[in-house]
Amino acid sequence: MPHRREDASFVLLEALAEAGQPLGARQAKAALASAGISISESSASRLLRDLHGEGLVATAGAKGRVITEEGRRRVAELHGVAATSARLQQAVDVRAAKDLLDLLHARRTVEREIVREAAEHAGEKDLTDLRDLTRRHALCISKGEVPQTPGLDFHRRIIRLSRNRPLRAMADVVLGPRYNRVETLLDIIMGNHHTETKSVGEHERILDAIAAGDAATAERTMNDHLLRMSEEVERYLPADNDPLFQRLLSWMDTQESLRPA
């Protein structure tokens, strides 16, 4: 089974932390196999040596290796990261109309800061990519196709220009793969209002500000763009009409299940 070295290292450190006794290559291989990671005994031995080199395990004579205090700290740290990631993913799991509005508000908070950086750092290749996405977005709408991919990719491409790692990490969570489902919801709402072309014009104005290096205008235009979408969602899905939102989600889930694997 394919695996990442980081995953195997974490599983092995967990096994060592729980074992309470030294583990050799054979036991390490068995511990990894129980977690669904299949590697040879020699590979398990190399992995133990690598962990030893990082100070995460120590030799216990001929019996094998035991986890060090630094290793235990690493396990605790990785558990914390995993728990945080799970909470973040849960936070962007849209299940009600209010969830969608909260997520759009989070996008506005993060993206208006990121687009300032885009205006300050975008190069010609970046501008060319963004222009191509706006053209594809307009073409999709003119053909009556779902514009989800180029429209969403426009925002994701801007995020790649950020040099602020915390901001970029937050944006990657908010606009991660789970957001594709949200974008489909927005497409349905905008289509119902016949306002799909507004997003194209707004994207073009954002791009013009980025190309001009005008950070203030880029921020203001991005803010107005996402605020307009929030207002459309509020008109379409008032707080007392959550059943409509649930029907939309159910329909989308049904369509997803009907797609060929």
Q: Select from 66, 85, 104 the last residue of a domain.
A: 85
Closest CA to 211 of 134, 96, 109: 134
The 8 Å CB, 24+ separation contacts for 195-203 are 195/232, 196/141, 196/147, 197/138, 197/141, 198/228, 199/137, 199/147, 199/151, 199/225, 199/229, 200/134, 200/137, 200/138, 200/141, 202/228, 203/133, 203/134, 203/137, 203/151, 203/154
Question: Is 255 part of a structural domain of the chain?
Answer: no
Helix, strand and coil percent figures for the chain, each rounded to 5:
80, 5, 20
Claim to verify: residue 123 and residue 205 sit in the same structural domain: yes
The stretches in the chain having pLDDT less than 70 are 1-5, 79-93, 146-148, 237-245, 248-249, 251-261
Q: Which CATH number goes with the domain that contains 166?
A: 1.20.120.530
Q: What is the pLDDT of residues 223-235, one digit of tens each?
A: 999 999 898 888 8
Number of domains in the chain: 2
153 and 202 part of one domain: yes
pLDDT score recorded for residue 48: 92
- Asked if 139 and 241 sit in the same domain, the reply is yes
One domain, residues 30 and 106:
no
The pLDDT value given to residue 253: 63
The per-residue pLDDT for 166 is 80
Quote the CA–CA distance of 244 and 236 in Å, as a whole number. 9
Q: Which domain holds residue 37?
A: 5-85
Same domain? For 60 and 167 the reply is no
